A and B are shown apart, each in its own frame.
Chain A
């Protein structure tokens, strides 16, 4: 099943997100994760190679009371997250949510998603994929790999508000 934020009734979306979260993010045991806390001001890492889109998503998130860090590609994002750094074992993730563009040069958003899900520290961090292209196989591929949501660009304020609301609700 997949989730189109734009097209589904918000209660249905919430129901499916709850299901996805209860399934434990991809094969492992569903942990009582204390590593990811969504306080009043979640810290979001936004990854996009397009400068205008980075600026836009940053403002959208800030307007929804999120703290935002941006990265211009997947490698910079992994660097920031400290992935591949053994001393991170047992540490807590710096961010509460990662939102990434799908089409990026070098490593795509999908490949970034896979790397995050492979990490013991980061696999519980919700990942949202954005794309300007509405391709069902792409969407289901991302959701199967553990993305919490797939959003179509250009993002609007209502998309981000809905996203934050659903993620906060699921934490409670």
Chain B
């Protein structure tokens, strides 16, 4: 496939992620921060997000599986996940975290369990999407092309 075609695919794919709400403007901020001194900045930060999130999701699963759930602990983990997802622009993950924290506050175990399931779902979805996006970028670079900057009218 020609570079121009992959570039077009990347642009369309990225736009769809914004349209479908997977990503928000904060992701663009990350892309704008990337420069020659740090050409892998976005991939690095997003990789940190993946590692951090998976740890948090494990902790949440364990914490919610206890006979006496420590809601403060659960809330602490969700707060972290909300923060990281917000910082990289993973909008849908962040939104589930907001609902999740509300259930923690009222100590609603059923609500928390539902949110856990939802946040896992949204996390794996966005992870998949971002990995696809990075693969497209890699293909472009490998073919000697440059990554097109996405202009969004926010």
**Interface residues, chain A, with chain B CB atoms under 8 Å away:** 50-53, 55-56, 59-60, 63, 103, 105, 132, 153-154, 156-157
B52 interfacial by beta-carbon distance below 8 Å: yes
Contact B87 A52 (CB under 8 A): yes
> By CB atoms of chain A within 10 A, which of B33, B83, B86 has the most?
B83
Contact B52 A51 (CB under 8 A): yes
Residues of A within 8 Å of B49, CB to CB, are 52
* CB within 8 Å for A157 and B33 given contacts A51-B52, A55-B44, A59-B41: yes
- The 8 Å CB contact of A59, one of B33, B84, B86, is B33
Contact B33 A52 (CB under 8 A): no
Contact A59 B38 (CB under 8 A): yes
B107 interfacial by beta-carbon distance below 8 Å: no
- The 8 Å CB contact of A154, one of B79, B80, B86, is B86
CB distance from A152 to the nearest CB of B (A): 10
B29 interfacial by beta-carbon distance below 8 Å: yes
Contact A52 B88 (CB under 8 A): yes
The number of A-B residue pairs with CB atoms under 8 Å apart is: 48
Residues of B within 8 Å of A60, CB to CB, are 33
Q: What is the interface size of chain B, counting residues whose CB is below 8 A from a CB of the partner? A: 22
Given contacts A50-B87, A51-B84, A157-B33, 14 further A-B contacts (CB under 8 A): A50-B83, A51-B48, A52-B45, A52-B49, A52-B52, A52-B84, A56-B30, A56-B33, A60-B33, A105-B76, A132-B82, A153-B83, A154-B29, A156-B26
Contact A157 B32 (CB under 8 A): yes
Contact B84 A63 (CB under 8 A): no
- The 8 Å CB contact of A56, one of B35, B52, B87, is B87
- List 28 interface pairs A-B (beta carbons < 8 Å), by A numbering: A50-B80, A50-B83, A50-B84, A52-B48, A52-B52, A52-B83, A52-B88, A53-B83, A55-B44, A55-B48, A56-B30, A56-B33, A56-B45, A59-B33, A59-B38, A60-B33, A103-B79, A132-B82, A132-B83, A132-B86, A153-B83, A153-B86, A154-B26, A154-B86, A154-B87, A156-B26, A156-B29, A157-B33
Chain A minimum-CB-distance residue to B26: A154
CB distance from B50 to the nearest CB of A (A): 10
The 8 A-B residue pairs with the shortest CB-CB distance, nearest first, are A52-B84, A154-B87, A59-B33, A50-B83, A154-B26, A52-B87, A154-B86, A156-B29
